[in-house]
Amino acid sequence: MLRLRSVRKRTSWWGAVYRGCDESSMRGAFIVVEGLDRSGKTTQVTALKSKLETAGVPVRLLKFPDRTTAIGQMIDAYLRSQSDLDDRAIHLLFSANRWELAASIETLLEQGTTVVCDRYAFSGVAFSAAKGLPLEWCRTPDSGLPAPDLTLFFDISPEAARARGGYGEERYEKEELQQKVKGIFLQLASEMSSDKWVTVDAGRSKEEVAEDVWRHVGALVGGVAGPVERIWA
């Protein structure tokens, strides 16, 4: 399993090198933020993108589902309760939406761009499994997608999330379902190594959460050595 080594500042954008590796051998880092609805993910990925840009790091921010594509528009209608779909069908649409961007993600990483992603395959598995679909079945469509170098799981109680503005506007924002989703996330976390998955207490102030996020991301800003790994492959 890929383990990152310490980095040192060399150029204006943290152009760091790993021991024994020159800058040309580095690729961008793939950072995913997961969590319950209204846990502050969107706020924090936006802040992280800004901080990386300030540090001179090439960065691209993505969000799943990507509601701009034809598949994404079908998902959007479903989430807004404007249409109904079988649980298996919507799960496959979510996965297809990620595959639509898989090649682009890998290209960006290989070009040295850090990719920050608001939700990814772990959300797809957690929400569908929480609705009663078999966990292994839920994983299968996403097997082979680019694997994150770091996943930050924003942990917050469903009760605290419900107290935040806008809760309940979309189909999945129901406290009972969110509690089940959290349980699946914790199960997925137990299967990951500590250098790949980090739990962040999202119930704190925005400033405290941002500081914690940067503490974990900082080691990756100089790039990652080695090829892009595959998820569940």
**Can you point out the beta strands (E) in 36-176?**
59-63, 114-118, 150-155
CA dist list (Å): 9 to 6, 15, 224 = 10, 6, 14
Distance CA 141, CA 124 (A): 10
Decide: helix, strand or coil at residue 67. coil
Return per-residue pLDDT of the chain as tens, 233 residues. Answer: 333 333 333 333 344 333 344 556 899 999 999 998 889 999 999 999 999 999 999 999 999 999 999 999 999 999 999 999 999 999 999 999 999 999 999 999 999 999 999 999 999 999 999 999 999 999 999 999 999 999 999 998 877 877 876 666 778 878 889 999 999 999 999 999 999 999 999 999 999 999 999 999 999 989 999 999 999 99
> Strands 114-118 and 59-63, how do they pair?
parallel
Range of the domain at 45: 24-222
Residue 51 inside a domain? The answer is: yes
Assign residue 52 the CATH number of its domain.
3.40.50.300
Residue 101 inside a domain? The answer is: yes
Question: What pLDDT, on the 0 to 100 scale, is given for residue 38?
Answer: 86
Question: What pLDDT, on the 0 to 100 scale, is given for residue 183?
Answer: 95
Q: Write down the pTM of the prediction.
A: 0.87
Residue 208 inside a domain? The answer is: yes
Instruction: Name the domain count of the chain.
Output: 1
Residue 8 inside a domain? The answer is: no
Residue 228 inside a domain? The answer is: no
Residue 5 inside a domain? The answer is: no
Distance CA 65, CA 119 (A): 8
Residue 75 inside a domain? The answer is: yes
Question: What pLDDT, on the 0 to 100 scale, is given for residue 173?
Answer: 76
Residue 9 inside a domain? The answer is: no
